[in-house]
Structure 1
Amino acid sequence: MRALRLTAWGEPATPTEVERPVPHGTEVLVRVEAAGLCHSDLHVIDGAPGALPYRLPFTLGHEVAGRATALGPDAEGVTAGQRVVVYGPWGCGACDRCAAGRDNYCDRRDTLPWHGVGLGRDGGMAEYLLVPSARHLVPIDDLPAVQAAPLSDAGLTSYHAVAGLRDALGEGSTAVVIGVGGLGHLAVQILRATTASRILAVDVREDALALADRSGADFGTLVRADTARVLRTRSGGAGADAVLDFVGTDRTLELAISILRPGGVLAVVGSGGGRLTVAKPGVLPPGFRLSLPFWGTRPELAEVIGLARSGAIRVETERFPLSAAPEAIGRLRRGQVRGRAVLVPD
């Protein structure tokens, strides 16, 4: 079968012919129908030797949806032919958190040579994917795979981030989304579907603000010298109750802190390398809370799929055949992808 594999750090991923896996034990073979492309894939491709615990080579792709086609003799909880999305942050499978479907916060995560499917383990940028257990599969029924695949990270991570600050987003509250890309546009929709907050969006691109508007934001603005003042005014003067930063640079973190009201909460989702200094006294608002969400839980993924099937959220996607993965990766690097890039088998 064809697969897009990382064979050397800092080098482009290589289209390769590999043997189709055969499931054993509890394993499930999934015929891939769609695989999302994420900035995390770029971070992995560009990684310096030793920066990540992953062992080369492996197939990329951590947002995967498809159809279970073959089951190991001990596989339970899925039937052959069932359409599924893959829960990506595979943990040790033995600790209490993994048992509860919270592999994203596995107690042994720091000791594992992988972070999940396509992140140190073979992923879904291939024709088939071998999943170690059906516990990593969530049914999608009739939801199109091109929609389901990005929901397993872009949707799940955004949902998990919003869930962590939902207690601050009651009636009359304001939430600010910084960075309206693959995750940010879903965060806007999830905020609209699950909270009563006023939603303000910030980006450096006009087309991203148009995407925010289509996703249900109440107001959008470009980053300018007066952005903090504009956002404070739009929030009623007191500032935002919550900020979700999907960029994570020094500049966006500074903006986030400048618009939070006392007791506000900041969720930093983007991995832009920014730093925040915690000092008391200092510039942080009194009562400030910080969240560093990582992916999400398996039960939350089922909830995200439910929202999508109800029509409450929809991923804006650009489709590419698997053979055009290098083109899609290049466009993602240049910031030319609208919403989420999704690879589909040729």
Structure 2
Amino acid sequence: MRALRLTAWGEPPTQTEVEQPVPHGAEVLVRVEATGLCHSDLHVIDAPPGALPYRLPFTLGHEVAGRTLALGPDADGVAVGDRVVLYGPWGCGACDRCAAGRDNYCDRRDTLAWHGAGLGRDGGMAECVLVPSARHLVPIGDLPADQAAPLSDAGLTSYHAVAGLRHALEEGTTTVVIGVGGLGHLAVQILRATTPSRVLAVDVREEALALADRSGADFGTLVRADTADVLRKRSGGTGADAVLDFVGTTQTLELAAGILRPGGELAVVGSGGGRLTVSKPGVLPPGFRLSLPFWGTHPELAEVVALAQSGAIHVETEQFPLSAAPEAIGRLRRGRVRGRAVLVPD
């Protein structure tokens, strides 16, 4: 079968032919229908030797939806022909957190040579993907694959980040979303579907603000010299109750800290390498709380799928055949993807 594999650190991935896996034990073979392309894939591709614990080569792709094709003799809880989305973070499977479906916070994460599908283990940028256990699968029914695949990271990560702030997002509150791309546009929709908070959106691209508007944002603005003042006025003059930063550069972190009201919540989701100095006394608002949400839990993925099935959230996608993966990767690098890029088998 064809697969897009990382064979050398810092080099473009290679389209190649590999043997189709045969499931053993509790494994499940899934025929891929769609795979999302994420900025995390770029981080993996660009990583220098030794930066990640993964062993080369492996197939990329951690946002995967498809149909079960074959089962190992010990596979349980799934049948051949089921349509599923993969829960992407794969932990040790033995600690208390993994047992509770919280592989994203696996206690042994730092000791593993992988972090999930397409992250040290073969992923979904191929015709088929081998899943270690059916516990990593969530049923999607008749949800289109191009909608389901991005839910496993773009949707799940956004949902998990919002869930961590939901206690603070009562009627009359304001939430700011910085960066309205593959994750940010879903965060806007999830906020609208699960909280009464007013949603303000920030980006450097006019087309991203148009996407925020289509996603239900109450207001959107480009990053300018007066952006913090504009957002403060739009939040009633007191500042935002919460900020979700899907960029994570020093510029966006400073903007976030500058618009939070006292007791405000900042969730940093983007991996832009920025730094925020925490000092007391300092310039951060009193009562400021910071979280670094990572991916999400298995139960939350089921909740995200249910939201999509109800029509409450919709992923804006651009589809590319698997053979056009280099073009899709190039467009993602240049910030020219609208919403989420999704690869489908040719």
Following superposition, the deviation at residue 278 of structure 1 comes to 1.1
Following superposition, the deviation at residue 94 of structure 1 comes to 0.3
Superposition pairs of residues 114-193 of structure 1, within 5 angstroms:
114-193=114-193
| Distance in 2 separating the partners of 1:276 and 1:254 | 7
In the alignment, is residue 260 of structure 1 matched against residue 270 of structure 2? no
Following superposition, the deviation at residue 283 of structure 1 comes to 0.9
1:205 is aligned to 205
SS where residue 220 of structure 2 aligns?
strand
| Distance in 2 separating the partners of 1:271 and 1:114 | 19
| Distance in 2 separating the partners of 1:285 and 1:109 | 33
Letter in 1 for 2:275: R
Letter in 2 for 1:23: P
Post-superposition Cα deviations, 1:298-346, rounded to whole Å, max 9, x if no partner, equal 0000000000000000000000000000110011111110000000000
Letter in 2 for 1:332: L
1:3 is aligned to 3
In the alignment, is residue 30 of structure 1 matched against residue 5 of structure 2? no
2:229 is aligned to 229
Following superposition, the deviation at residue 115 of structure 1 comes to 1.1
Letter in 1 for 2:74: D
In the alignment, is residue 218 of structure 1 matched against residue 230 of structure 2? no
Letter in 2 for 1:339: G
1:338 is aligned to 338
| Distance in 1 separating the partners of 2:45 and 2:279 | 36
| Distance in 1 separating the partners of 2:248 and 2:36 | 21
SS where residue 190 of structure 1 aligns?
helix
1:111 is aligned to 111
In the alignment, is residue 79 of structure 1 matched against residue 79 of structure 2? yes
Following superposition, the deviation at residue 167 of structure 1 comes to 0.6
Q: What runs of 5+ residues in structure 2 fail to find an aligned partner?
A: none
| Distance in 2 separating the partners of 1:181 and 1:231 | 19
Following superposition, the deviation at residue 38 of structure 1 comes to 0.3
Post-superposition Cα deviations, 1:222-273, rounded to whole Å, max 9, x if no partner, equal 0001000000000001000000000000000000000000000000000000
1:99 is aligned to 99
Superposition pairs of residues 227-306 of structure 1, within 5 angstroms:
227-306=227-306
| Distance in 2 separating the partners of 1:345 and 1:17 | 14
Following superposition, the deviation at residue 125 of structure 1 comes to 0.1
2:43 is aligned to 43
What percentage of residue pairs aligned between the two structures are identical? 88
SS where residue 15 of structure 1 aligns?
strand
| Distance in 2 separating the partners of 1:158 and 1:92 | 24
Post-superposition Cα deviations, 1:164-185, rounded to whole Å, max 9, x if no partner, equal 0001100000000000000000
| Distance in 2 separating the partners of 1:332 and 1:252 | 20
1:317 is aligned to 317
SS where residue 74 of structure 1 aligns?
coil
| Distance in 1 separating the partners of 2:77 and 2:238 | 50
| Distance in 2 separating the partners of 1:73 and 1:285 | 57
SS where residue 290 of structure 1 aligns?
strand
Aligned-CA RMSD value = 0.3
Runs of 4+ in 1 over 2 A off after TM superposition: none
| Distance in 1 separating the partners of 2:285 and 2:168 | 15
| Distance in 2 separating the partners of 1:193 and 1:335 | 27
Letter in 1 for 2:231: L
Letter in 1 for 2:83: R
TM-score, normalising length: structure 2: 1.00
SS where residue 231 of structure 1 aligns?
helix
Letter in 2 for 1:113: A
Following superposition, the deviation at residue 138 of structure 1 comes to 0.0
Following superposition, the deviation at residue 276 of structure 1 comes to 1.0
| Distance in 2 separating the partners of 1:282 and 1:78 | 54
| Distance in 2 separating the partners of 1:213 and 1:152 | 23
| Distance in 2 separating the partners of 1:286 and 1:135 | 42
In the alignment, is residue 328 of structure 1 matched against residue 328 of structure 2? yes
SS where residue 89 of structure 1 aligns?
coil
| Distance in 1 separating the partners of 2:76 and 2:115 | 24
Q: How many residues are paired up?
A: 346
| Distance in 2 separating the partners of 1:284 and 1:160 | 24
1:14 is aligned to 14
| Distance in 1 separating the partners of 2:98 and 2:184 | 27
| Distance in 2 separating the partners of 1:73 and 1:322 | 31
